[in-house]
Amino acid sequence: MIEIKAVSKKYDGTNALALEEMSLNLNSGDFIFLVGPSGAGKSTLIRLMFREQLPTKGNIYFDKKDIASYSQRELLEHRRKIGMVFQDYKLLKQKTVFENVAFALEVLGRPPKEINKKVNDALEKVGLSHKADKFPRELSGGQQQRVGIARAIVKDPVLILADEPTGNLDRDNALQLMQLFEKINEEGTTVVIATHAWDLVDKMQKRVVALSSGKLTRDKQGGYSHE
Ligand SMILES: Nc1ncnc2c1ncn2[C@@H]1O[C@H](COP(=O)(O)OP(=O)(O)OP(=O)(O)O)[C@@H](O)[C@H]1O
State the ipTM, two decimals.
0.95
**Residue 175 in contact with residue 203, Cβ under 8 Å?**
yes
Total-model pTM: 0.94
Rounded to whole angstroms, the Cα distance separating 51 from 121 reads: 28
Å from CA of 12 to ligand 1 middle: 12
Query: Could you tell me which of 144, 203, 206, 183 has the C-alpha nearest to residue 193?
Result: 206
Our answer on whether the CB atom of 14 is closer than 6 Å to any ligand 1 atom is yes
Query: Could you tell me which of 95, 139, 141, 88 has the C-alpha nearest to residue 119?
Result: 95
Å from CA of 214 to ligand 1 middle: 9
In ligand 1, the atom with minimum distance to the C-alpha of 45 is 18
Read off the pLDDT of residues 49-64 as tens digits, 9 standing for 90 and up: 999 999 999 999 999 9
In ligand 1, the atom with minimum distance to the C-alpha of 194 is 22
Read off the pLDDT of residues 72-93 as tens digits, 9 standing for 90 and up: 999 999 999 999 999 999 999 9
Our answer on whether the CB atom of 41 is closer than 6 Å to any ligand 1 atom is yes
Å from CA of 213 to ligand 1 middle: 10
Read off the pLDDT of residues 156-213 as tens digits, 9 standing for 90 and up: 999 999 999 999 989 999 999 999 999 999 999 999 999 999 999 999 999 999 999 9
Task: pLDDT band for 225, please (50, 70, 90 cuts).
Answer: low
Among protein residues, the one whose CA lies closest to atom 11 of ligand 1 = 18
Among protein residues, the one whose CA lies closest to atom 3 of ligand 1 = 11
